[in-house]
Amino acid sequence: MAAKLAAECIFCKIIRGEIPSAKLMETANSFAFLDIGPLSDGHALVVPKYHAEKMHELPDEFLADTMPVAKKIAQALNMDNYNILQNNGRIAHQEVPHVHFHVIPKPNTEEGLSMTWPAKKADAGKLKEVASNLKL
């Protein structure tokens, strides 16, 4: 499947070279560059060359290309600690409506991604019910 880019999307403009970026690498299906609002040095974005707002809308061939690119960036960072982050939808903290993956180095407790994880106690019956309703 060929790349599909949107006219007004900031990430599509970066991919087309209309907006400058600190490019790290490019494949037939992905484009990676440094984030202009980094949480730590080396914070990168991996963006599929297909305009889709949410991950479930992205063709598999573009999705499959993103993780090997993220892995290469993580290896180049040469850090023991890092996060791979991908958000879908505004209330899930997606700022740009184009699928993208953050590779965020975590060099220490002050820099990089900070988050809370409000885990709840799971009910075994509820887990079974939810699993059966997903029908994968």
Q: What is the pLDDT along the chain (136 residues), one digit of tens a residue?
A: 888 999 999 999 999 999 999 999 999 999 999 999 999 999 999 999 999 999 999 999 999 999 999 999 999 999 999 999 999 999 999 999 999 999 999 999 999 999 888 999 999 999 999 999 998 8
Q: pTM for the full model?
A: 0.92
Does 98 participate in catalysis according to the annotation? no
**Exposed, middle or buried by CB within 10 Å (0-12, 13-18, 19+), for 99?**
buried
Strand partners, 30: 48
Q: Active site residue: 43, 51, 98, 100, which one?
A: 100
